[in-house]
Amino acid sequence: MPTIMKLVLCVASVTLCYGQPLQNPVANNTSLHNGLSEKIGNFSIEILFHTSKTLQEGDNFIMSPITVWSVLAVIAEGASGDTRNEINNVLRLSARTKESTRTGFRNITQWLQVNTGTVKLAKINAIFVDKERLPLPEFTEISKNYYQTEMVTLDFKDSVRSANILNQAISNITHGKIPNMVDASYFQDSQMVLTSALYFKGQWSMPFNASSTAKMPFYDSKGQKIGEVNMMYNRHTYPFSNIRELQARVIELPYGNENRLSMLIMLPNPGVSLEDMFSNFKNVNLDTFFEELRVSKEEYSDDEVDCFIPRFKIKSDIDLTNVLKNRLGIQELFDQSRAKLPYMARTPLYVSKVVHKAEIEVTEEGTEAAGVTVAEFSNRIGVVQFQANRPFTYMIIEKVTNSIVFGGFYKTPSLY
């Protein structure tokens, strides 16, 4: 009988804080937006959408799509036949472009390490392996050299100690925000546990004033009041656009002093559901967003935006197995009798489960935690109002590569 490989996807806590005014914006750089970055972006949008469809109606959630992509890409390196084809199809990859994928992801990864006074972004991949059943040397080398995935050897017979070591490693990278990723059961009858952890802490380039936060109503997409939120407020010349193809207003809230990372909030037009808006992503891409926001900023540089967004905190613990199997079509990988991972290990393997944990906190002051679209500017006279008082989606973007490091939906209000 094949040995079970339990794939565990670990994602860190996100904390969004206030900071100092923007001083040194990164020059416009789209050289890494095409090719692999574009494929990862398309995957990211798709998995966010399909994950949202599997949750309870109205559930808020947060996830890190790029960590899901990176773990699947590592597995694809060890796969063959239809197992590899199914994974590559979801990742938008081809066996013929394996070398360019490897070097492309290595180039992207270097931009996912930021450590300044106002922004911290750190990523770590690791494969925890049983000391008695080590993976093939070539797979180990590829994982390390191209995907920055380290092998950590453990005694899986001591499942409690193995769980403690893994949890401590994830807790360290997430600054204690994900302290218990797995339990001892994950190491029973297993050979490998794959993890990918991402931590982000960013200070707003333009802080919100906590004294301006006030309790305000929150509505559904049909305009019916469904609760209240503590609404933060700031007035600033934020990049802002009404993107017709998306049927939504989009605002960019930058982090830090270098303009490397931003939060995009996409608010569906009145009467448009969040799901319908999200399905419009097939008509636009992130470069389109930033180009329209750039034009908006240049054309209306003196126009201020009254920005209202809820203060919120979301924790997600998501089983992605069914999303990957039933919605994205990765079937063989989870089938004990059909999975083909011969380049990963000599022992037959299959994946039993993919889990994902993440957390986001959006506050005024923050705490230590862890194709062509037509822009519509006719309403930009004087002060424009962007009021996220109905369901919206949000994404944290690394702008050099256009990587969606975190994303999610906010549907149900809470007084946080």
Residue range(s) of every CATH 3.30.497.10 domain in the chain: 3-203+313-361
pLDDT of res. 80:
95
Model confidence at 7: pLDDT above 60:
no
| Residue bearing the bigger pLDDT, 89 or 317 | 89
User: pLDDT digits over 79-105, tens only?
Assistant: 999 999 999 999 999 878 889 999 999
Q: What per-residue confidence (pLDDT) applies to 3?
A: 53
Tokens at 167, concatenated: 């949890």
pLDDT in tens, 132-173: 888 999 999 999 999 998 889 999 899 999 999 988 988 888
**CATH 2.30.39.10 in the chain, residues?**
210-309+371-410
Q: What is the mean pLDDT of the chain?
A: 83
Read off the pLDDT band of 365 (50, 70, 90).
low
**120 or 367: which leads in pLDDT:** 120
| Dihedral sign from CA coordinates of 112, 115, 118, 123 | positive
- The DSSP annotation for 76-102 comes to HHT--HHHHHHHHHHHT--GGGHHHHH
Enumerate residues 6+ apart whose C-beta is below 8 A from 395. 263, 264, 266, 404, 406, 407
Separation of alpha carbons 150 and 128, rounded Å: 8
| pLDDT for 281 beyond 80 | yes
**Torsion 20-314-278-306 (CA) sign:** negative
Give the pLDDT band of residue 272 (cuts 50, 70, 90): very high
* Angstrom distance (rounded) from CA 116 to CA 45: 28
Share of residues in the chain with pLDDT > 90 (%):
42
Q: Round to whole Å and give the CA distance between 48 and 274.
A: 12
Task: Tell me the pLDDT band of 12, cut-offs 50, 70 and 90.
Answer: very low
pLDDT of 267 higher than 90:
yes
> What interhelical angle do 65-77 and 137-147 show, nearest 10?
150
348-364 tens-digit pLDDT: 888 888 888 888 888 88
The superfamily in CATH containing domain 210-309+371-410 is Alpha-1-antitrypsin, domain 1 (2.30.39.10)
pLDDT at 177 over 90: no
pLDDT at 399 over 50: yes
pLDDT value, residue 257 = 81
Distance CA 267, CA 274 (A): 8
Which residue has 């005024």 as its token pair? 364
Pick 3-203+313-361's CATH classification: 3.40.309.10, 3.30.200.20, 3.30.497.10, 3.50.50.60: 3.30.497.10
Sorting pLDDT into bands at 50, 70 and 90, what band is 300? low
* Greater model confidence, 341 or 377: 341
